[in-house]
C-alpha cells in the first residue's frame, strides 16, 4: 500500500477538491494523509476516510505565516514515513521539494492556481519576483505534475517544457431539484474565497442599483472587511448578505436554491485568464445558470454546453446587463438551466477520478 502525503495551507474542512482527491485515493487502496494548518477559529475536523493533520501556527497571514508554516511542514515531513508527497501550489512546495530530495522520495506537484500570475501577487513586484524564483528553481526539477485546466497546462509547457496532466475540479454527481422547475426567487450567489479580482466589488455595486435581487456571498477571505464597508457605503445592507463559511454539503443545498451564480474574474494576470474555477462547475451541478467571463477556458466550455452568459469585461454595467437579460429573457434562462443537466452528466468526478487514479498508478 503506497503512502501519500498531501500538503495545503488551509484548515482542511472547506477544501472540496482535496476531499475528493484524498477520498478517492483512500478508497482505492492508498494510505493518504492530508496536512493543513490549524487556525485560532478552526472548527473540529470533519470525519474523513483518510488521515488529517493540522499544524498550529502563531502567525495567520503574510510572510511570517508562510515562513512559520513551511518550517513546521519541513520538520513534520522529514521524520514521516511515506512513498510520495504531493505539494499543492507554490506555497507548500519548498519543504516538500527539500524533504523529497534529501530522502529520495517521489514528489508530485498539484497546481490549483497559476500561482505567480495571481492578482494579489502580480500587483506586488517584489513578492512576484520571490515566488517566480521559487517556481523556476523547483518546477523544472519535478517529474510528476497536474493542474486544473488545459490553459494552465499549456502555460506550464510553454514556460518550463513540462507536461502537466489535467485533472479538473468537478463535483460528484448528486440529486438536484427538478431542473425544469422555474426559479421564483432572484437570489444571486457567489461562493468561494473573498479575494481581490473575483468581481465581488463590481457585483455589489451592480446589485445595489437593482431592485428585486439579493446577492448572497458565501465564503471568507482577505477582503471581507472591505466588502462589508462597501455595502455600508452603498447602503445596500438589504440587498447583500454575507453568509460566511458552510460545509460542502450545506453549501450544495444553498446553491440549488439560488437563481444564478457568479463566476467572475478581473483580467489582471494569466491566472484568471486561463482559470477554470471550482464554482463554475458547482453552479451547473446545482442546476443553476451563471454569469461568467468571456475568457478562453470558459468560452470553450460554454460553446459546447451553454450553461452561462458570458460578459466581455468586468464592471458593474456588464454585470447589471447580464442579470437583467436573464431576468427578462425567460426562454434563455430556461435553456441554460436545461443545459446544466447535460454538462453535469459529462463533467463529473466519477469520470474525472479515472484520470487521477491513472496518474497515481504510474508514479
Together in a domain, 192 and 155: no
What is the pLDDT, as a whole number, of residue 185?
86
What pLDDT, in 10s, does the model give residues 25-59? Answer: 999 999 999 999 999 889 999 999 999 999 999 99
Q: What is the CATH number of the domain that holds 321?
A: 3.40.50.2000
Q: For the chain (length 363 residues), average pLDDT per consecutive 10?
A: 96 93 98 96 93 96 95 97 98 98 98 94 94 97 97 97 96 72 81 95 98 97 96 97 92 95 94 93 97 97 98 98 97 96 95 98 96
What is the pLDDT, as a whole number, of residue 41?
86
What is the pLDDT, as a whole number, of residue 174?
79
What is the pLDDT, as a whole number, of residue 247?
87
Together in a domain, 229 and 263: yes
Indicate whether 236 belongs to any domain.
Answer: yes
DSSP secondary structure, 70-133, as one string: HHHHHHHHHTS--SEEEEESGGGHHHHHHHHHHHT-EEEEEESS-GGG-HHHHT-HHHHHHHHH
Q: How many domains is the chain built from? A: 2
Together in a domain, 142 and 199: no
**215 alpha-carbon distance from chain centroid:** 20
Together in a domain, 222 and 235: yes
Indicate whether 181 belongs to any domain.
Answer: no
Grid coordinates given for 1: 500500500
Query: Which parts of 242-347 fold into alpha helices (H)?
Result: 248-256, 270-273, 278-285, 296-305, 316-328, 330-346
Together in a domain, 53 and 196: no
What is the pLDDT, as a whole number, of residue 175?
66
pTM: 0.92
Radius of gyration of the chain (CA): 20
Domain holding 85, by residue range, is 3-170+349-361
Together in a domain, 195 and 333: yes
Using alpha carbons, select from 143, 138, 255, 115 the residue that is nearest to residue 191: 255
Rounded Cα distance between 279 and 206, Å, is 20
Amino acid at each position: 500500500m503506497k503512502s501519500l502525503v498531501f500538503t495545503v495551507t488551509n484548515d482542511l474542512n472547506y477544501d472540496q477538491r482535496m476531499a475528493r482527491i484524498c477520498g478517492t485515493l483512500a478508497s482505492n487502496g492508498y494510505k493518504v494523509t492530508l496536512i493543513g494548518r490549524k487556525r485560532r477559529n478552526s472548527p473540529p475536523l470533519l470525519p474523513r476516510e483518510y488521515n488529517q493533520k493540522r499544524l498550529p501556527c502563531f502567525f495567520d497571514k503574510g510572510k511570517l505565516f508562510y515562513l512559520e508554516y513551511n518550517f513546521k511542514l519541513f520538520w513534520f515531513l522529514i521524520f514521516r514515513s511515506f512513498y510520495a508527497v504531493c505539494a499543492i501550489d507554490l506555497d507548500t512546495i519548498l519543504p516538500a521539494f527539500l524533504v523529497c530530495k534529501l530522502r529520495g522520495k517521489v514528489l508530485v506537484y498539484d497546481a490549483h492556481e497559476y500561482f505567480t500570475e495571481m492578482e494579489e501577487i502580480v500587483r506586488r513586484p517584489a513578492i512576484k519576483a520571490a515566488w517566480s524564483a521559487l517556481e523556476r528553481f523547483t518546477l523544472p526539477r519535478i517529474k510528476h505534475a497536474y493542474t486544473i485546466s488545459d490553459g494552465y497546462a499549456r502555460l506550464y509547457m510553454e514556460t518550463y517544457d513540462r507536461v502537466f496532466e489535467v485533472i479538473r475540479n468537478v463535483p460528484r454527481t448528486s440529486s438536484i431539484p427538478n431542473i425544469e422547475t422555474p426559479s421564483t426567487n432572484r437570489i444571486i450567489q457567489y461562493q468561494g474565497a473573498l479575494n481581490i479580482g473575483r468581481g465581488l466589488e463590481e457585483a455589489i455595486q451592480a446589485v445595489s442599483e437593482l431592485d428585486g435581487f439579493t446577492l448572497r456571498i458565501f465564503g471568507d477571505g482577505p477582503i471581507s472587511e472591505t466588502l462589508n464597508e462597501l455595502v455600508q457605503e452603498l447602503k445596500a445592507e438589504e440587498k447583500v448578505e454575507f453568509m460566511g463559511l458552510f460545509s460542502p454539503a450545506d453549501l450544495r443545498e444553498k446553491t440549488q436554491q439560488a437563481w444564478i451564480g457568479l463566476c467572475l474574474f478581473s483580467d489582471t494576470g494569466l491566472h484568471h485568464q486561463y482559470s477554470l474555477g471550482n464554482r463554475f462547475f458547482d453552479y451547473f451541478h446545482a442546476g443553476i445558470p451563471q454569469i461568467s467571463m468571456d475568457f478562453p477556458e470558459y468560452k470553450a466550455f460554454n460553446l459546447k454546453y451553454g450553461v452561462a452568459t458570458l460578459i466581455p469585461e468586468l464592471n458593474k454595467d456588464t454585470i447589471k446587463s447580464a442579470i437583467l437579460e436573464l431576468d427578462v429573457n425567460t426562454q434563455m434562462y430556461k435553456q441554460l438551466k436545461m443545459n446544466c443537466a447535460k454538462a453535469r452528466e459529462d463533467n463529473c468526478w466519477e469520470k474525472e477520478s479515472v484520470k487521477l487514479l491513472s496518474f497515481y498508478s504510474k508514479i
